[in-house]
Amino acid sequence: MSGGVSRTGMKITTILVTMVVAVVAVILCCCILIFLSLYRSAMIRTAMTTGTQAVSQVSNTVANYMRDMNQAMSMVEWSMSESDSQQASLMGAFLIFRPDVVAVTSYTADGELVDCWSNGRSPLEDIYMNLSFNKELAEESEEGYISAPHVETIFEGYYPWVVTMTAPIATENNERWVSLDLSFSSISAYINNVSIGQRGYCFLMDSSGNIVYHPQQQLIYAGLKSEDTVTLMRKADGTYVEDTVIYSLNSVAESGWRVVGVSFVDELVNKNVAEMIRLSLIMGVFLLLTAILTSWLLSRLLSRPLRGLADAMESFETNADNFTYRSVGGTREVQELSGSFRHMVLHIQQLMTTVREEEINLRKTELKALQAQINPHFLYNTLDSIAWMCEQGKTGDAVNMVHALARLFRISISRGHELIPIELEIQHAESYLQIQKYRYKNQFSYRFEVDPQCVGYYCNKITLQPIIENAINHGLRLMVDEGLIVVRVFREGDDIIFRVTDNGVGMSPEQVKAVMERGPDSGTGIGIRNVNDRLKIYFGKEYGLTIESEVDVGTTVEIRMPMVKEGDGGEK
């Protein structure tokens, strides 16, 4: 079988979580961008509405102020039509009734100051500059004019912030001008307090684009700030978005003034949008984590039984003999796959058992056939050697050789048993060595070093003889000097070790490989590879033989098998 299930592909958990996270992330990003775009547009509209409302309130307040000025001017015009004594009385009452009126002044047609009425204040005798009256502007206007807010300059030590309304008055004697100075502090304070956002504000301008009042008047005069009134005066009343600024315009009734509201998109919109982005990101992260958790749980529902099925397949690959499969749960498809795998496992195990039994039976049949064979050449040479010894009068040697041959065949048969005591295996090997020593006329010697504690255990019969035969044929036969074979049997842990060492010509690694792969050879008909196969069939893959050899030094063959007592073994 192959060596494990391939795990080079991506896990279903990774694929599912990645896909869900990617889809959710894309959808969230699109939704957040669309939502923020709509929210930004809504916030701009809200800011425009807020600016329009603020400007409308300022316009109404200024319009009320202008109506008050018109009413006050009407009263002054009525008072000017009376006699001088009545004028003084009426003006005194008027100033008491209207404390917001700073002064009422009248001028000749040439612009000289005639009268000045004020609460306990008299004008300077030598007026250096009078900002409350402009003869040229008065002459250009047929019905009079309203000045821009300015500082009252006709009194000593008293400089209130006023707006002057000037109108022509026809008296009995000649045409005159009358000016009404009203305090502008309340209106300026109101305009200063109007804010649209943290940086937004309102200001007044006339129909020509001149700034009438600005809450940042000093910065305007100093040139540190400017307003594009030329562009604004061309626009009709309404609200406009110019780059990052929102302008709201509204005309003041009964005057030529217009209220302009200024607000900033980045302040009114971006701040709220930034807050919404933060909330959207928090919600997006929460939804993303929820999607990850959901996809992970879903993938676990799918991948866990599949992973269990894959692990079962891998376990079956590595240990098919002792594998016991337990069906995994999960979806219907996974259960059907698990059931199919279970049937396949049972079928494969049955086939493996059948094949293994057939293989073992085949090996046993081959082994018994080989064991039953008597090499005619070996038997002919042995009998010929016995006959020669008898002719030469060496009856003692002939008798010993016959006895050795008898023991060899008797132990080889062993009543059909495969496992025999190690003691008998040693006798079998010694009998074979005695016969071969007679045949090769004492060209080699041998000795056995056997641990007495090992002789009672069992081993496969005809285990040592093929090893010794290989040592004689391939190691000692070609030597000029006398050869030596040493057979050692000892314990190592829970195993029995057979070690056969010779001082022959040795073998190269290629020759060692060839010996391990060679089948039955010219000896008894049982090759070294067959010995190794028998050990593994009977005792397991961890047992068998190993060969260590060096050219011109010698060869050592080590056989490892477990300690088997009588009753533990037997044919398998």
The per-residue pLDDT for range 187-206, each reduced to its tens digit, is 888 888 888 877 889 998 88
- Over residues 385-405, the pLDDT tens digits come to 788 778 877 788 788 888 878
pLDDT at residue 517 greater than cutoff 80:
no
Could you tell me which residues come within 8 angstroms of residue 3 by beta carbon, excluding any fewer than 6 positions away? Answer: 317
- Over residues 409-432, the pLDDT tens digits come to 777 766 667 788 999 989 888 888
**Given this model, what pLDDT does residue 335 score?**
72
**Given this model, what pLDDT does residue 568 score?**
67
pLDDT at residue 496 greater than cutoff 60:
yes
DSSP string, 221-257: HHTS----HHHHHTSPSEEEEETTEEEEEEEPTTSSE
Q: Which amino acid is at 62?
A: V
**Given this model, what pLDDT does residue 446 score?**
92
Q: In the predicted model, what is the mean pLDDT of residues 482-507?
A: 93
Q: In the predicted model, what is the mean pLDDT of residues 352-365?
A: 75
Nearest to 255 by CA among 68, 74, 66: 66
Task: Give the residue with greater pLDDT, 379 vs 67.
Answer: 67
**Given this model, what pLDDT does residue 374 score?**
45
Q: What percent of the chain shows pLDDT beyond 70?
A: 85
pLDDT at residue 499 greater than cutoff 90:
yes
pLDDT at residue 561 greater than cutoff 90:
yes
pLDDT at residue 552 greater than cutoff 80:
yes
Q: Which amino acid is at 305?
A: P
Q: How far apart are CA 47 and CA 266, in angstroms?
A: 11
Backbone angles phi, psi at 180, to 5 degrees: -120, 115
**Given this model, what pLDDT does residue 338 score?**
73
- Over residues 150-168, the pLDDT tens digits come to 888 888 888 888 888 888 8
Q: In the predicted model, what is the mean pLDDT of residues 488-510?
A: 92
Task: Give the residue with greater pLDDT, 268 vs 204.
Answer: 204
**Given this model, what pLDDT does residue 1 score?**
42
Q: What percent of the chain shows pLDDT beyond 90?
A: 12
**Given this model, what pLDDT does residue 452 score?**
93
**Given this model, what pLDDT does residue 385 score?**
76
- Over residues 11-30, the pLDDT tens digits come to 666 777 777 778 888 887 88
The sign of the CA dihedral 243, 245, 246, 250 is negative
Q: In the predicted model, what is the mean pLDDT of residues 211-217?
A: 86
Task: Give the residue with greater pLDDT, 184 vs 368.
Answer: 184
Q: How far apart are CA 204 and CA 213, in angstroms?
A: 5
**Given this model, what pLDDT does residue 331 score?**
67
Q: How far apart are CA 479 and CA 557, in angstroms?
A: 19
**Given this model, what pLDDT does residue 461 score?**
84
Number of helical H runs and strand E runs in the chain: 15, 18
Q: Are strands 201-206 and 211-213 parallel, antiparallel or unpaired?
A: antiparallel
- Over residues 95-106, the pLDDT tens digits come to 888 888 889 988
Q: In the predicted model, what is the mean pLDDT of residues 335-351?
A: 78
Note the residue count of the chain.
572
Scored b (16 or more CB within 10 A) or e, 449-478 reads: eeeeebeebbbbbbbbbbbbbbbbebbbee
Least confident of 208-222, 257-271, 455-469: 257-271
pLDDT at residue 322 greater than cutoff 70:
no
**Given this model, what pLDDT does residue 563 score?**
93
Q: In the predicted model, what is the mean pLDDT of residues 238-266?
A: 86
Nearest to 265 by CA among 50, 428, 450: 50
pLDDT at residue 115 greater than cutoff 70:
yes
User: Domains plus CATH for the chain?
Assistant: 81-187 (3.30.450.20), 373-562 (3.30.565.10)
Q: In the predicted model, what is the mean pLDDT of residues 332-345?
A: 75
**Given this model, what pLDDT does residue 525 score?**
42
Max intra-chain CA distance, the chain: 194
pTM of the model: 0.47
Nearest to 442 by CA among 484, 406, 487, 488: 484
**Given this model, what pLDDT does residue 32 score?**
78
Q: Show the beta-strand stretches assigned E in 142-265.
A: 145-146, 150-151, 161-170, 175-183, 201-206, 211-213, 238-242, 245-251, 257-264
Least confident of 209-213, 219-223, 413-417, 560-564: 413-417
Least confident of 56-60, 93-97, 134-138, 306-310: 306-310
pLDDT at residue 9 greater than cutoff 70:
no
pLDDT at residue 43 greater than cutoff 80:
no
Q: Are 102 and 181 in contact (CB under 8 A)?
A: yes
**Given this model, what pLDDT does residue 421 score?**
92
pLDDT at residue 173 greater than cutoff 80:
no
- Helices 395-413 + 422-439 axis angle, to 10: 140
pLDDT at residue 491 greater than cutoff 90:
yes
**Given this model, what pLDDT does residue 489 score?**
96
pLDDT at residue 148 greater than cutoff 50:
yes
Q: How confident is the model at residue 463 (pLDDT cuts 50, 70, 90)?
A: confident
Q: In the predicted model, what is the mean pLDDT of residues 514-542?
A: 72
Q: In the predicted model, what is the mean pLDDT of residues 226-238?
A: 89
Q: DSSP code of 472?
A: I
Q: How far apart are CA 336 and CA 315, in angstroms?
A: 20
